[in-house]
Amino acid sequence: MPNFCAVVQCGSRSNRDKVSFFRFPSIYDNRKRIDPRRERRRQAWVLATRGTDLTESKLKYQMICSRHFLEGKPATLEEECHPDWVPSQNMGYGGKKVTVERYNRRKRRIKEVADSLEPSHDVEMPDSSTTLSQEAVVDNPPTGNVEMEVETEVRDDDLKYGLLKANEEIYKLRSELSTFKFTTSDMKNEVKCKFYTGLSFDTLQIVFELVEPYIIINPNTTLSKFEQLVLTSMKLRLNLLFTDLGYRFNISRSTCGRIFKNVLHVFYIKLKSFVKWPERECLHSTMPTCFKEKFGNKVTVIIDCFEIFTEQPKNKQASSQHFSHYKHHHTIKYFIGISPQGSVIFISKGFTGRSSDKFVTENSGFLNNLLPGDLILADRGFLIKDSVNFYMAEVQMPAFLKGKKQLHPKEVEETRKLANVRIHVERVIGLLRQKYTITSGKLPIFMLRAKHNNVQTIDKILTVCCALINCCPSVVPQ
């Protein structure tokens, strides 16, 4: 298919005319970042053609022929003062006449000034005759308009060059102002740090020191290791779109998604040990008063399940398995266990939303952590008494009516005591959803795929979020 010139009233065709064709300049540099100078040049080309229908989607296919350049081709990006930096010939409308000679004269003057500023190593003392002749030249300068014309031309070019440099600096400063700053010094603001990451600056620094050696800096990425950590934390904390994060960090959407996946995997490997089942002696020695008054030192864990919304899978069988009749939505179900102190000590892998609480509990690996004499606090839906008794442990749930008109006063009192402390697991789940909003939104289906170590992305997200929750103050009063 032949190429056509985008200039109005120019009928150049690549299969007919012996001319060259040049594409409109791109606004991106080699690292896929927006360059202010390239952006200015592209806009100047669009204005020069005076095309009313040159939208961004069309510009990638538009070309300008060599008839519209003095030297038959565009100048380089660095030669911003060159007449061919923008097409100017045969544009179909009247304009200021430009020549290459004036640009070349200016380049020669700049070179002469630069050469004159270089120190000379071969300095000779002039004789008296040379000195006198030079003085004579100085005392008798040439008259006429030649000196005035040269001085005016030099001053005019210098002013234009200075104006271009000033505009370039303005564009650079505007670009820096429009770009969010997430360096270490910028994140020292506690309010800003907690808003974007959910952590205090000191805690964020500790996490960074732990994962920093394992974060990779790609040659095509301009973000530092700390900025990559902040980007990942912002995705977990605010659940921003990758396009949004790309604009904030001045990188492409695909680069943003790749950084998130890589740093999330590092988070998962280094932080999953923060979600740990504690020793019994540690639990007993730090048992909160509200638990000790009601159950003594017997309580080991409070358990519950929660669900996260997902997109509908295309596979019909998978769609049916993920549909939760309780939430009336496609979900992933997680089993969580917290200690009496308020720390997350167990988080399961994701199960389909259709799975029952009993099935999730028995297949999550939770029961393997139980010791004889452990007391588990659970809700009514956890029909796991037989499974727990197999490990010589005990589960306590709110009383059922089971056909009775009302509960016995003793059962009412036990249910009230249980509800007063079991609410802490709901508070932890609420804190998890509030602090890391990625767990409260609808997750895309690709996050259900397993890549690294056969672990789904959503499982990594939940594990990392629970680990970071454990780095924050507890919701249980000590």
pLDDT, tens only, 231-254: 999 999 999 999 999 988 888 999
In contact, 441 and 309? CB cutoff 8 Å = yes
- For residues 358-365, give the mean pLDDT: 94
Lowest-confidence segment of 78-87, 140-149, 154-163, 225-234 by average pLDDT: 140-149
- For residues 472-477, give the mean pLDDT: 88
- For residues 113-140, give the mean pLDDT: 49
Residue 147 has pLDDT above 60, yes or no: no
Round to the nearest angstrom and report the end-to-end CA distance of the chain.
Answer: 76
Q: What pLDDT, on a 0 to 100 scale, did the predictor assign at position 437?
A: 95
In contact, 21 and 64? CB cutoff 8 Å = yes
Per-residue pLDDT band for 419 (boundaries 50, 70, 90) equals confident
Length of the chain: 478
Residue 175 has pLDDT above 70, yes or no: no
Ranges of each domain in the chain: 21-98, 186-272, 278-469
Residue 279 has pLDDT above 90, yes or no: yes
Residue 120 has pLDDT above 60, yes or no: no
CA atoms within a 13 Å half-sphere pointing along the CA-CB vector of 71: 14
In contact, 242 and 260? CB cutoff 8 Å = yes
Per-residue pLDDT band for 427 (boundaries 50, 70, 90) equals very high
pTM, whole model, 2 decimals?
Answer: 0.64
Tokens 């929660």 — which residue?
306
Per-residue pLDDT band for 139 (boundaries 50, 70, 90) equals very low
6 compared with 410, residue with greater pLDDT: 6
Share of the chain above pLDDT 90, in %: 42
Residue 97 has pLDDT above 60, yes or no: yes
Q: How far is CA 385 from CA 81, 381, 393, 398, 399, in A?
A: 83, 11, 9, 13, 13
Provide the mean pLDDT of the chain: 83
Residues 228, 208: Cα–Cα separation, whole Å? 10
Phi, psi for residue 23 in degrees, rounded to 5: -75, 155
Residue 125 has pLDDT above 50, yes or no: no
Instruction: Report CA torsion sign: 110, 111, 112, 115.
Output: positive
SS3 content of the chain, % helix, strand, coil (to 5): 50, 10, 40
Residues 461, 463: Cα–Cα separation, whole Å? 6
| Closest C-alpha among 178, 176, 200 to residue 187 | 200
Q: What pLDDT, on a 0 to 100 scale, did the predictor assign at position 401?
A: 65
pLDDT in tens, 15-71: 888 899 999 988 888 777 888 888 888 888 888 887 666 677 778 788 999 999 988
Tokens 């005759």 — which residue?
129
pLDDT in tens, 288-341: 988 888 888 889 999 999 999 999 988 889 889 999 888 899 999 999 999 999
Q: What is the rounded radius of gyration, in angstroms, for the C-alpha atoms of the chain?
A: 36
Q: Which helix (H) or strand (E) holds 398?
A: none
470 compared with 176, residue with greater pLDDT: 470
